[in-house]
């Protein structure tokens, strides 16, 4: 597979000094599982790094932009900006899907799993930019493609996350506190998936899927808000 690195660099506005780091950021584990003899690295370590860098830069930005906003609201705001669905949307807008190294099986799967792969690749790309170009370039990238397009939109919609909002509505409308249960989980440790259910009393209201238990809870809450027409 041949990747047009110059095209991707033009899209993101960053020219890499070391394109091997960029290649690593775009390489999913499944690609190497089919090609064990290839001397390449998959992107999970860069994903780990990028996740931390993204959270730091988003935290710094929100801290400075909203000096009067309470810590709890800032935490919810940050969670909305760094969660997998947000990163998936940004990655899709950048066309990152066209530049990934995937196994033949993963290339055919365009469902929920591909969304997580893209979200993870976005984090890995951030990690690669940080290693290759440093903090300031990474901050500029995150501001351009995540913070500036999304912050005002998220601010307008409110800073409360779906789980908090559903709890508030459930207590207001039905005088009951929602309970979340993990209904199933699968996948290796580096690529776990969970399905959570949200209950009001003994009644299952909705289900949601995520790459962590918390993300699955949020997804279930979002579905429940729509089902109850509380959103």
For the annotated catalytic residues, the residue numbers are 51, 123
Question: What one-character DSSP code corresponds to residue 27?
Answer: B
Name the phi and psi angles at 78, rounded to 5.
Answer: -60, -45
Closest by Cα among 160, 100, 143 to 125: 100
In terms of Cβ atoms closer than 10 Å to its own Cβ (0-12, 13-18, 19+), residue 75 is: middle
User: What does the radius of gyration of the chain's CA atoms come to, in whole angstroms?
Assistant: 19
Question: What one-character DSSP code corresponds to residue 68?
Answer: T
Name the phi and psi angles at 18, rounded to 5.
Answer: -125, 100
Show the beta-strand stretches assigned E in the chain. Answer: 179-186, 193-200, 203-210
| Pairwise CA distance, residues 160 & 34, whole Å | 43
SS (H, E, C) 84-122: HHHHHHHHHHHCHHHHCECCHHHHHCCCHHHHHHHHHHH
């Amino acid at each position: 597979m041949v990747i047009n690195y110059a095209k991707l660099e033009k899209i993101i506005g960053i020219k890499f000094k070391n394109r091997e780091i960029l290649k690593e950021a775009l390489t999913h584990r499944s690609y190497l599982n089919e090609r064990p003899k290839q001397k390449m690295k998959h992107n999970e370590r860069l994903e780990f790094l990028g996740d931390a860098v993204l959270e730091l830069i988003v935290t710094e930005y929100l801290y400075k932009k909203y000096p009067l906003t309470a810590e709890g609201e800032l935490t919810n705001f940050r969670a909305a900006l760094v969660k997998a669905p947000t990163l998936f949307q940004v990655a899709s807008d950048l066309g990152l899907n066209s530049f990934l190294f995937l196994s033949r099986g993963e290339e055919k799967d365009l469902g929920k799993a591909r969304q997580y792969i893209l979200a993870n690749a976005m984090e890995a790309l951030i990690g690669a930019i940080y290693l290759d170009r440093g903090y300031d370039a990474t901050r500029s990238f995150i501001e351009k493609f995540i913070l500036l397009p999304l912050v005002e939109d998220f601010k307008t919609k409110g800073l409360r996350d779906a789980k908090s909002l559903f709890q508030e509505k459930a207590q207001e409308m039905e005088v009951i506190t929602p309970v979340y249960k993990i209904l199933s989980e699968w996948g290796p440790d580096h690529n776990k998936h969970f399905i959570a259910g949200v209950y009001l009393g003994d009644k299952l209201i909705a289900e949601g899927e995520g790459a962590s238990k918390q993300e699955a809870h949020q997804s279930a809450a979002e579905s429940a808000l729509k089902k109850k027409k509380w959103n």
